[in-house]
């Protein structure tokens, strides 16, 4: 057995593989064109570092189930977005449904977020959950996290219909819970 190849930083010039349209999973000429049903949502947030400065050169990727909670359906639940000059990312997608968990448990609706950037020698992975979901109270992963930090994974409505926001803090006060996958 040969161990997996060593991860290396994406560095500051990863935008050469940035295609800004990928941040809109519902783009009319994209893989989800013609998909019917589901609730259109916007996922946004700001990434800051341990000095409180916006992270303006991060690559954010999402992976999520479809509105029925399936990963093997027609919906292509992948998107990529670069953070802007304020450290903000923004995706347009469909709200995922509950996903089967281990041991016949049910996972609350969630989106997996993967971050790459200069200064990250390997990716950081976290999840975005939705405030107010009943299933959050029994989600195996959320419940395994100490209550004081749980909120770092829970997006809140911004007030604009269908728009949810989750800020990510790489380090320090209110540091986001990152996952060892």
Partner 1 sequence: MPDPIGYRRPDPATQPPYDLPTYGSTRPRHPKQPLVRVPHTLSEVTGPRMSPAWYAPHDDLSRHNGKEALGERIIVAGRVLDEDGRPVRGALVEVWQANAAGRYHHPADQHDAPLDPNFLGRGRVFTDEEGNYRFTTIRPGAYPWRNHANAWRPVHIHFSLFGAGLAQRLITQMYFPGDPLLAYDPIFQCTADEAARNRLIAQFDIAITQPEWALGYRFDIILRGREATPFEDGAGAH
Q: Is 42 in the site for partner 1 (CB under 8 A)?
A: no
Nearest to 52 by CA among 178, 168, 155: 168
Give, in order, the Cα–Cα distances in Å from 47 to each of 50, 61, 79, 141, 144: 10, 13, 17, 22, 24
Q: Which is nearer to partner 1, 123 or 161 (CB)?
A: 123
Where are the alpha helices (H) located in 18-177, listed in sequence order?
140-144, 147-150
Q: Which is nearer to partner 1, 42 or 141 (CB)?
A: 141
Choose the binding region for partner 1 from 10-18, 35-43, 82-90, 157-165 (rule: CB under 8 A).
10-18
- Rounded CA-CA distance 107/105 in Å is 7
Give, in order, the Cα–Cα distances in Å from 57 to each of 10, 95, 153, 154: 10, 26, 21, 23
Q: Which member of 20, 68, 76, 84 binds partner 1 (CB under 8 A)?
A: 76
Q: Is 66 in the site for partner 1 (CB under 8 A)?
A: no
CB of 159 to partner 1, least distance (A): 28
Q: Which member of 39, 40, 71, 131 binds partner 1 (CB under 8 A)?
A: 71
- CB 163 within 8 Å of CB 44: yes
Helix (H) or strand (E) holding 130: strand 124-130
Q: Is 74 in the site for partner 1 (CB under 8 A)?
A: no
Binding site for partner 1 (CB under 8 A): 1-17, 30-31, 49-51, 53, 55, 57, 61, 63, 65, 71-72, 76-78, 99-104, 107, 110, 112, 114, 116-125, 127, 141, 144-145, 149, 170-172, 175-181
């Amino acid at each position: 057995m040969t161990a997996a190849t060593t991860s290396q930083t994406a560095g500051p010039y990863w935008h050469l593989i940035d295609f800004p349209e990928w941040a809109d999973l519902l783009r009319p000429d994209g893989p989800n064109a013609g998909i019917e049903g589901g609730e259109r949502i916007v996922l946004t947030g700001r990434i800051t570092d341990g000095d409180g400065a916006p992270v303006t050169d991060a690559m954010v990727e999402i992976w999520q189930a479809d509105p029925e909670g399936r990963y093997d359906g027609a919906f292509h639940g992948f998107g990529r977005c670069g953070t802007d000059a304020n450290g903000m990312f923004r995706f347009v997608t469909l709200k995922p449904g509950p996903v089967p968990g281990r041991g016949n448990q049910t996972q609350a609706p969630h989106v997996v977020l993967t971050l790459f950037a200069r200064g990250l020698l390997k990716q950081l992975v976290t999840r975005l959950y939705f405030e107010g979901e009943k299933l959050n109270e029994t989600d195996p992963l959320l419940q395994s996290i100490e209550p004081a930090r749980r909120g770092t994974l829970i997006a809140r409505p911004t007030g604009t219909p269908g728009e949810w926001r989750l800020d990510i803090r790489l380090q320090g006060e209110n540091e986001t819970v990152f996952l060892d996958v």
